[in-house]
Structure 1
Amino acid sequence: MRIRTVLDDLVPEALGVTDAHDHLFFRSAVLPGQELDDEAAAVAEVRAFAEAGGQAIVQWTPHGLNRQAGLLPGISTSTGVSIVAATGMHRREHYPDGYVDKVQDQLAEIFVRELTAGIGDTQVRAGLIKVAGGFHVLDVHAELVMRAAAEAHHATNAPIAIHHELGSAADAVLDLLVDELTVHPAAVILGHLNRFPDHRVHLELAQRGAWLAFDGPSRANNATDPRLTDCLAALIDAGYADRLLLGGDTTTARARAATGEGPGMPYLLTHLRPRITRYFGADIADAVFRNNPARAFATDWRA
């Protein structure tokens, strides 16, 4: 089992303390003027995360949204922080008009190539497939992308991470990916569940064997902060501490800690980790930030 980083493939135990969902570079048509496109700012943010004890960052920025794959190895080397890059595709509205239509028939091929050969003209390989659901349902675009992701997963064994719009439709994603397209649930990471803080839904998802990612704090909040520990407590009490992941999901320049208003990547370790340790104990905190990511992003790569 290995975790594919932008430098090399790591044994899982080498990953260390991990921000399981974040962005160093990101450009979206729905966030004009807030692009993450400054290399110096990205380096400063990663260094701040490292100073707080961080050792690895999983960047969920998918195909076509300014991943800056060519810069990631240098940032990883200069900061000592491992970085996992993503392939995949976001919701249609994040792309310029016409872009999705040009590539939608080639998605599985693109995903496999970026996982096995390199992103663009680089030799930087992606380590996961990031896709996105719709609000409460899977629209035509979401289903198309997820079918391509499942095809790429079966070709490579890469994990699939899902953006759930406001935390919704995670059950529909499992119905499609796991039940219909036979992706193993342990290869599926359900993101943004903090934005839909229904404990019963979370428990049902956990029972189906997927990873549960709480990707906050976000500047959009959506009940993330005040209800996060309650959501985690319900899952921990039910025996699912070994399925939980936490990430910062910094998607705008304003949300960076080093060069913006924050909270940014370091917040996970300067604020959330002490709180989780205080409420649930050091073993749970170690599971969420170290042991679980090492298992969630590791796979037996086929290429």
Structure 2
Amino acid sequence: MVTVVRTVLGDIPATELGTTDAHDHLFIRSPLLPGQELNDPARAEQALRAFLRLGGRSVVQWTPHGMGREPAALEALARASGAHLVAATGLHQAVHYPAELLTRIMGTADELFVSELTEGIRDTGVRAGLIKVAGSFHGLDAHAVQTMRAAASAHHRTGAPIAVHLELGTGATDVLDLLCGELEVPPCSVLLGHLGRCPDSVMHHEAAEAGAFLAFDGPSRTNHATDWRLPELLLSLADAGYADRLLLGGDTTTPGTPGMPHLLGPLRSRLRLTLGEDLLEQIFTLNPARAFALAPHTKGAKG
């Protein structure tokens, strides 16, 4: 059976993703970052084309519901550039939303997620290809539990992968216990983000052993004190047999950062010294094709 990835222009064979930025944001806004919105289509196109010139092919945008995804702009960018773009449904932490929005949608969040995965976002016809949720610092608060329950329900109905923001890279065990234990989401359909922000190699190995994908996705900022440890963290996981679990992304969230071109430029050159080209090819190309593919599901959903 041919596996597919759901892009903003429709489903494509997973093998066509090519070199992939596994976590980034072309458009995003949050009340926590006033005046630092990414909402300029021209800037987004400039960053995307720079990424493509460096050999990139696909960008997975983890911007969830209510945070300025700009689905129509994503569709236009994909058509103009030839890039494969994947959009997200889901919800971030509660602090990113007005209380009235959460009150209105939380009881039926799973239906919202399924609708955006199968019918389209805000009547645009642009369908999301993954579900973004978020943990809290060193655990799960009530909002995280509720959104993850909705995400698991939507996954079982659509096969969409679930991408998880780990606050400062913590709480992976709690996330996996809930999603993959109680809620029976296959670990291979769970992507754990921001692991480089907590360079705990033991925790990383435990998450990999559980079967989840591990996203190291802070390099666009180049200012985290832990970023310099990225080569050794990746090499340790690869040497332990988890090379097929690893993903890399830029996670550009504010203007003025190096952004996604940094991923395939300076960062890739630096990682090549430690990891070698074959492993980088696996991380950038082979692994995303499996991580973002829609899994088989039993409860019918369009597409």
Which residue does 2:252 correspond to in 1? 250
After superposition, the Cα gap between the structure-2 partners of 1:264 and 1:218, relative to the gap in structure 1 and judged at 3 Å, is: closer
CA distance in 2, matches of 1:220, 1:161: 22
TM (normalized to structure 2)?
0.95
Which residue does 2:284 correspond to in 1? 289
Unpaired stretches in structure 1, ≥5 consecutive residues: 256-262
Q: Could you tell me whether the CA contact under 8 Å between 2:140 and 2:171 is conserved in 1?
A: yes
Which residue does 2:95 correspond to in 1? 93
Q: Could you tell me whether the CA contact under 8 Å between 1:16 and 1:290 is conserved in 2?
A: yes
Q: Could you tell me whether the CA contact under 8 Å between 1:276 and 1:284 is conserved in 2?
A: no
Please point out which of 201, 216, 220 is paired with 2:203.
201
Matched, 1:267 2:262: yes
Secondary structure in structure 1 of the residue aligned to 2:147: helix
Secondary structure in structure 2 of the residue aligned to 1:105: helix
Which residue does 1:258 correspond to in 2? none
The 5 Å alignment of 1:1-303 reads 1-219=3-221, 221-255=223-257, 263-300=258-295, 302-303=301-302
Q: CA offsets, 1:84-121, max 9 Å, x none?
A: 00000000111134221221112000000000000011
Name whichever of 270-279 and 109-118 sits farther off. 270-279
Q: CA offsets, 1:231-287, max 9 Å, x none?
A: 1111011011110000000001222xxxxxxx1100110012222222121110100
CA distance in 2, matches of 1:36, 1:224: 25
After superposition, the Cα gap between the structure-2 partners of 1:220 and 1:65, relative to the gap in structure 1 and judged at 3 Å, is: farther
Q: CA offsets, 1:43-65, max 9 Å, x none?
A: 11101111111100000000000
Name whichever of 156-165 and 69-78 sits farther off. 69-78
What letter corresponds to residue 33 of structure 2 in structure 1?
L
What letter corresponds to residue 265 of structure 2 in structure 1?
T
What letter corresponds to residue 133 of structure 1 in structure 2?
G
Q: CA offsets, 1:30-77, max 9 Å, x none?
A: 000000111111111101111111100000000000100011111011
Runs of 4+ in 1 over 4 A off after TM superposition: none
Q: Could you tell me whether the CA contact under 8 Å between 1:34 and 1:254 is conserved in 2?
A: no
The Cα of 1:8 is off from its aligned counterpart by 1.4
What letter corresponds to residue 239 of structure 1 in structure 2?
G
The Cα of 1:216 is off from its aligned counterpart by 1.6
What letter corresponds to residue 73 of structure 2 in structure 1?
L
TM (normalized to structure 1)?
0.95
What letter corresponds to residue 98 of structure 1 in structure 2?
E
Q: CA offsets, 1:145-201, max 9 Å, x none?
A: 000000000010100000000000011000000000000000000000000101011
Aligned residues: 296
